[in-house]
Amino acid sequence: MPDGDQKKPSRIQTRNRLVILDAALNVFSQHGYRGATLDQIASEAGLSKPNILYYFQGKEDIHLTLLSQLMETWLDPLVELDPDGDPQTEILDYVQRKLDMALELPRESRLFAGEILQGAPRMGPHLESDLKPLFDQKCEVIAGWSAAGKIAPINPQHLIFSIWATTQHYADFAAQVTVLLGADTDPYQTASEHLRSMFTAILRNKA
């Protein structure tokens, strides 16, 4: 919609924007930013290309809108890590929240991964202003727990990286997981049990 139009969008306009964004999420998560086209998004949305361009300036505008909406959702599981909680419980719950996100938001996970793999050309500022301060804050919390002997000595940055890698794998590499485990197997129950056991062993202070 043109920037100068300050009217409250109608119900149809609001619906169409949501339809376009949902269709674009499908297209971007399947084809990546470079492989996606406005024609594909229009076809997925069941709207004409000119109709798409009425609501958004182009492919990059749609992509940026999706990424901006995703950022807060992406940060929420880490935000919930409570400095005053039991350290092992807090970290294991964070692992579970990230795994739940892979189950519930696989398209969003692949969208985010695709952006990062390209060098974060559109998300770079958000990573610096939103993710980095939160990441540093939570790393300080984990380091404090470790220094106090509440969990084993551990590098908090690489612990968080490991959590991201092991949980988001189930969304970003879902096709491979399905082939290797079988289409009739639900990986999430066994993944949850495995990750909880693995990270419990990593966090246990044996001193």
Contact present, 159 and 176 (Cβ < 8 Å): no
CB atoms within 10 A of CB 112: 23
Query: 153: burial class by Cβ within 10 Å (0-12, 13-18, 19+)?
Result: exposed
Q: What is this structure's pTM? A: 0.86
| pLDDT (tens digit per residue) in 140-181 | 999 999 999 999 999 999 999 999 999 999 999 999 999 999
For the chain of 207 residues, list the mean pLDDT of each consecutive stretch of 10. Answer: 61 91 94 93 95 94 92 92 97 97 93 90 89 96 96 97 96 92 86 95 80
Sign (positive or negative) of CA dihedral 167, 18, 52, 127: negative
For the chain, what are the domain ranges?
11-57, 67-203
- What dihedral do alpha carbons 166, 167, 168, 172 form, nearest 10°? 80
Per CATH, which fold does 67-203 belong to?
Tetracycline Repressor; domain 2 (1.10.357)
| The CATH number fitting domain 11-57, selected from 3.90.1150.10, 3.40.50.2300, 1.20.1080.10, 1.10.10.60 | 1.10.10.60
